Every structure is written in structure tokens, then in C-alpha cells.
Amino acid sequence: MARDEKLKLQWEEIRDKISEKFGGGEQMDVDAIIYLIGIQELGKGYQKFKKDDKLNVMHIAICTLLEPFGFYAFDYLDEDGWPHYKVLDELPNLKAGEQSVLMKEAIVMYFEKREGFSI
């Protein structure tokens, strides 16, 4: 099976499982799954976030997801328990479709590493 086809199947399986559990009957998109990963990585459970905090939650997820690719590294937790990352390497300029593929690949890798979540 070609790499792209395997990634597509893995992504669809993860999306379907996450959507079933958290989507309330709706198919979740990449951004919604990134947001859920951010909430998980923040470790404070579900709560109401202000708009700026929602962006910060997504930033946590993106840093976590791209850490294995060498773009970010965890730096420290602040006094409120929010993780901070340092930039190790600048992200390349990618077209929208390439960004989507990178994030889907990173999400698949993230869930492959999590116990209790099989794909």
C-alpha cells in the first residue's frame, strides 16, 4: 500500500473514532481534533475558554504534534500550568494541502503513541 493511501486510511479511522466519541454525531475536522489534543496536553480537562485561550490551546497541540518532526521542543510549564515550547527549526512554507497532510500525519503519529488508542 502506498504511503499516502495508508495515511489516508489511518487518518479516516482516527477521525471516525474521535468524531464518534466527541463529535456528537458530527464528523470532526482537523482543527477540531487539534483543539481536543490541545485540551488533552494542557491537562486541565474540559472547560470554557476565551477566544485567546482557545488559540493558545491549539498552539499547544500544534507544538506537541510537530515536536517529533524537530520543529518545537517543550521548554517549561508556567505558573498557571500552561506548557511553553521553544522553536527549534522554522516551519517550511507549505501550500494548504501540504499543511493538511503534515498535520494529519502528525495526528496519526500522536495517536499511534497513545496507549488505549489503537488504529
Which residue(s) pair with 83 in the sheet?
A: 77
Q: Percent of the chain having pLDDT more than 70?
A: 95
- Please name the amino acid found at residue 67: E
Residue 118 has pLDDT above 80, yes or no: no
Q: Do residues 64 and 37 touch, judged by C-beta distance below 8 A?
A: yes
What band does 45 get if pLDDT is binned at 50, 70 and 90? confident
Which residue(s) pair with 73 in the sheet?
A: 86
Residue-level pLDDT at 1: 61
Angle at 96 between CA 119 and CA 118, to 5 degrees: 5
Q: Which pTM was predicted?
A: 0.89
Closest CA to 33 of 89, 115, 108: 108
